[in-house]
């Protein structure tokens, strides 16, 4: 019985060792880091926002691990619906399986990427001016996670740069 459990654990760890799961972990780490920088810049450490974000990020990680187990049980691979040429091209990039876990990983990475972009702009990281304005307007329309008027912040920073 012990060996059967070890075999499952080895299979589970191997299944978690894919680019999608690593991408989620990297996106969560980057968003957390930039969120801390943003909080330090504005001197606003809001524990309720931090706790909510931490719970959301922990939920993402736990759901990814759960969905990896679901994929192990179901053996579902959406790549089987693609043509052989597409499968070979993706295999060259290391993508040989696209199950339920990978789909949700893509969704979580896109969600975290939006938050990373917002934190980058609010931390005033160097972004080309035209792109910065477009990103600010897009993020203002697409996100509601904070009460910050990102367009106003970016325009204020642009004015400061123009005055100096």
Give the torsion through C-alpha atoms of 149, 153, 158, 159, to 10 deg: 100
Determine the 3-state secondary structure of 128 from DSSP: coil
Question: Residues 133-144: pLDDT tens digits?
Answer: 888 888 888 776
Rg (CA), the chain: 20
Round to whole Å and give the CA distance between 123 and 105. Answer: 26
Q: Quickly count: other Cβ atoms within 10 Å of residue 35's Cβ.
A: 20
Give the relative orientation of helices 150-163 and 100-122 as an angle to the nearest 10 degrees.
40
Question: Residues 23-60: pLDDT tens digits?
Answer: 999 999 999 999 889 888 888 777 666 788 889 999 99
Question: Residues 3-27: pLDDT tens digits?
Answer: 556 687 788 777 778 889 999 999 9
∠ CA 18-31-67, rounded to 5°: 35
Round to whole Å and give the CA distance between 118 and 113. Answer: 9
């Amino acid at each position: 019985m012990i060996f059967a459990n070890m075999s499952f654990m080895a299979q589970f760890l191997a299944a978690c060792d894919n680019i999608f799961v690593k991408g989620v972990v990297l996106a969560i780490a980057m968003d957390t880091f930039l969120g801390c920088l943003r909080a330090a810049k504005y001197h606003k450490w809001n524990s309720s926002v931090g706790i909510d974000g931490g719970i959301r990020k922990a939920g993402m990680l736990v759901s990814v691990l759960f969905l990896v187990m679901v994929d192990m049980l179901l053996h579902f691979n959406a790549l089987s619906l693609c043509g052989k040429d597409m499968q070979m091209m993706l295999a060259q990039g290391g993508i040989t399986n696209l199950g339920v876990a990978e789909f949700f990983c893509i969704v979580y990475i896109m969600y975290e990427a939006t938050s990373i972009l917002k934190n980058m702009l609010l931390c005033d990281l160097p972004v080309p001016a035209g792109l910065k304005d477009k990103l600010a307007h897009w993020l203002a329309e697409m996100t509601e996670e904070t009460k910050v008027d990102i367009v106003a912040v970016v325009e204020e920073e642009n004015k400061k740069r123009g005055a100096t």
